[in-house]
Structures are given as C-alpha cells and as structure tokens.
Structure 1
Amino acid sequence: MRKTQVSECPVRKPSVVPYVVSWSTELAGFEGMLDVKWDSLGPKLGYKDERSSDRVGRDQVLWGRMIYRPGVGRPEYDSMHPGRQYYAMRWMKCQVCGESVCRNEDGWLFLDWRKENDPLTWPERSVTAMPPLCEVHARVAIAECPHLRNTEFLALRVRTPRIWGYSGAPYTLTSDGWSVGEHDALCPVGDPNLRAVLASRLYRELCNVTVVGRGVAG
C-alpha cells in the first residue's frame, strides 16, 4: 500500500478557513437561557425554550447553542463552532471543507498527535474531537494548521471511528439554579453526568487504525 507522504509540506499562512472553525460574530447562548427540566430520573439541564434539535445522541445530551454566521467577522482558529463540529464528526464530513470524506479499505483519514490522556496503545484507541479529512484538505491542514506546527503527528486510516462521548461545560444544581464548573467535562456515552453538561464537542475513539504517514509541521 502506498504511504501518504506528510512531512515535506512547508507551513504557510492559512489559505482556507476550516469548516469547523468559529467566527468572531458567532456568539454562544446566554446562561439565562438555561432551565431545570425534570424526567423520571430527576432534574437535568435544559433550555427554557427547548427544541427537540437541542439534544443529541442516545443520552439526549443538551447541545450548546451558538449563532450561525460562517464567513462573517474574523475566524477564531483556536475554537470550533459546536454545531459544525457536531455535524462533521457525527456524519463523517471533512473538517476543512465540510464535504463527504472518501474512505478506502483501511477506513477514513484522520490526523492525530499525542495528548495527555492518550492510552498506551496510541494511536490505537485514541479519543479525538477532530473530525476526519478528505485527502486534499489533509495536505492543506498539514501545511497550514497552526496547531500542528512543531508537533509530531500521524496520518491515520481508521476502520472503526466509534462515537465515544462528549465534552462541554459541567453544571451543578444549587438552591439558586445551575452553577457552571470551571473546566470542561469529558464524559463517555452513558455517563450519568451528561445530564448536567452543556456539550460542545462530539468525540470518536479511533479503533482498527493503520498509520499511513507521519511528520512534523513547522
């Protein structure tokens, strides 16, 4: 099988704004929109004007609202739009162009690098919030993505990128209503704590991985 050569692309000023990137005019919803909802299991985080589209997955996780204005303002390269990140990760669309990603016999194409909580089997069973890429925009990302500069990374083909869980703002119910935590919570599918998380990222676990390239950008 022909290897994907990824280490020869020079880093340059971004020529394209990735589909998943948020823009400066895309503001998140206000905390005043949140409410206490009740079901057979007790209280859970919700919106006062909640719609069925506000919840995702089998856990019916509350998804963070953000205005949708791609292309308006300036791109925030260090932030992903919750709605577009979910769409790309859930439906396996390219994180750069938002279009369908072709897979071959080895699976879908991902870029990955070592993270603090990676398993000893990395890159096998790595958990990531970064959606897959098409082959054209994988090369663009390698050449231009500021997060890859001076970072050792792998190009992977993944046969089984299974949905692993979510991350977002964890809330605690107090006598005065919901109080937000100081950090993002990372919760797997089925975690009861998801009832009080305002999610903003969908994660997949990369299983049945084949390394097709490696490099250092920058």
Structure 2
Amino acid sequence: MSTPGGVPLVRPFIARTTGEPFPDLGDVISCDGRVAYGDETPADRDTHGVLWARQAHRPDEGLPLFGKIHSARQRHAMLHLLCQVCGQEPDENADGLLWLLPTLPGQPPDDDGDGIITTYPPVCWPCADLALRQCPPLRRAHAALRVQDVQVHGVSGAAYTLTGPTATFRAAVDCIYGSPALATVVATQQLLRLTHYCDDAR
C-alpha cells in the first residue's frame, strides 16, 4: 500500500491504526487511594505498580495514524530499546544507540541538566529516513543523537482526582517513578531519560 504520492505506506511499530481507538478510560475508578479498574488484573500494572491504559491490539487493521501512539507497543519498544518504526534492533555504534527526537526549529532537544526526557524509542538506520519523511513532528525539526546511557524514568498519562469510589480526569501529566502522585495516574506512554549523548555525525 502506498500514499497518493507513491511513497510506501509504512506502519510504524509504535503508531496506532484506525482499527485501534484511543484507550477508553471511562472505566477508571478509585480504590484504596489509587486509580484502578473494577475488573483489574495483574497485567494492568507495571513493575512499579502504575496502572496502564488498556489498548486494543490490531496493528494490521486499518491505516496507520502517524503521530498517534499505541500505549502497549510504545512501552514495549521503550523497555526493550527497539526501533520505533520496525520494532527490531536499533542502530548502535561505538557512540551509542541512534535516536531521532523532535525539536523546535534551530534548537537542540530539551535537556534539564540531567539528560533528555523522551517518549520516543530509538531507531534503526533503514527506518530513519522513513521516519523523517512520514512522522509529522520529526519532519518539522529534529535532532539525531547517539546515546550511551538510557534509564527508565516514569510515565506520561492521565491524572485523576479521587473522591470516594469515583475517579475524575484532571490533567495530562508526566510523572517520575517513585512519586506519590503516580497513585492517581493512568499511564499511556513510557518515559526514558537519555544521558551521555552526542550528535550523530553520519
């Protein structure tokens, strides 16, 4: 399948498709001071005890939604350091793993002094050109980095106000692991911290 301009239509590993709607968070409740599901199973939480949005998995159904992230596949690619486009091993050399990160035009990626916080997994070279052509945020402006140190940092998701058994959506937030606020967050994307990096010179 191709785009109208003849460019092959790639299905990025982390992208949702038209057959995979955004997670319905209407069944989130408050239980014992934290967000929960009424029919919760151990698979609904990560190893840090954070509740994750439930996401339909139909990657071959419909068309890819570029820039729209599939929670479970993004999390898998982040934790296993897989290419965001093909889901296989990313490019790596002596300077580290290859990352393509969206930026503001003419500006480097945001670094808080302790590294870059990102929701983007790494990428392999065969997929890098496709990502630059088909990912809207990367097309606007990007940085290509080699990263030597990667740490699991936290989650991005929906924060709730808990009142009795009711959980009411409050805001979209980023939250570091270890924060008490995670008890009120339903995660939708994994966050990584990238340190010891340099520009990719290729």
- TM, length-normalised to structure 1: 0.80
Change (3 A) 1:14 1:191: farther
Change (3 A) 1:63 1:120: closer
Whether 1:67 aligns to 2:56 is yes
CA RMSD of aligned residues (A): 2.4
Which structure has more relative contact order (CA 8 Å, sep 6+)? It is: 1
In structure 2, the residue corresponding to 1:164 is in which secondary structure? Answer: strand
Mark the runs of 5 or more structure 2 residues left unpaired by the alignment: none
Q: Is the CA contact (8 Å cut-off) linking 1:14 and 1:144 kept in structure 2?
A: no
**Match of residue 16 from structure 1:** 10
**Match of residue 189 from structure 2:** 201
Give, in angstroms, the shift of residue 177 of structure 1: 0.7
**Match of residue 179 from structure 2:** 191
Residue pairs, 1:29-44, within 5 angstroms: 29-38=23-32, 43-44=33-34
Give, in angstroms, the shift of residue 150 of structure 1: 3.4
Q: Is the CA contact (8 Å cut-off) linking 2:30 and 2:164 kept in structure 1?
A: no
CA distance in 2, matches of 1:63, 1:162: 19
Q: Is the CA contact (8 Å cut-off) linking 1:14 and 1:145 kept in structure 2?
A: no
Cα deviation code 1:116-171 (max 9, x no counterpart): 992365xx7111101001111112212332222232x2211101011111110100
Give, in angstroms, the shift of residue 12 of structure 1: 8.4
In structure 2, the residue corresponding to 1:50 is in which secondary structure? Answer: coil
In structure 2, the residue corresponding to 1:137 is in which secondary structure? Answer: helix
The one-letter code of the counterpart of 2:140 is N
**Match of residue 69 from structure 2:** 80
Cα deviation code 1:90-117 (max 9, x no counterpart): 1111110011224222221101233699
The one-letter code of the counterpart of 2:162 is L
- TM, length-normalised to structure 2: 0.86
Give, in angstroms, the shift of residue 28 of structure 1: 4.1
> How many residues are treated as equivalent by the alignment?
195
| Higher mean displacement: 136-145 or 193-202 | 136-145
The one-letter code of the counterpart of 1:103 is E
Regions of 4+ moved over 6 Å = none
Whether 1:118 aligns to 2:110 is yes
The one-letter code of the counterpart of 1:135 is W
Cα deviation code 1:36-90 (max 9, x no counterpart): 332xxxx1111111111111132x1101001111121222212100000000011
The one-letter code of the counterpart of 1:142 is L
CA distance in 2, matches of 1:119, 1:170: 24
Give, in angstroms, the shift of residue 32 of structure 1: 4.3
In structure 2, the residue corresponding to 1:46 is in which secondary structure? Answer: strand
Q: Is the CA contact (8 Å cut-off) linking 2:71 and 2:188 kept in structure 1?
A: yes
Whether 1:54 aligns to 2:44 is yes
Give, in angstroms, the shift of residue 207 of structure 1: 0.2
In structure 2, the residue corresponding to 1:147 is in which secondary structure? Answer: helix
**Match of residue 130 from structure 1:** 120
Whether 1:108 aligns to 2:102 is no
Residue pairs, 1:114-193, within 5 angstroms: 114=103, 118-119=110-111, 125-151=115-141, 153-175=142-164, 177-181=166-170, 183-193=171-181
Give, in angstroms, the shift of residue 191 of structure 1: 1.1
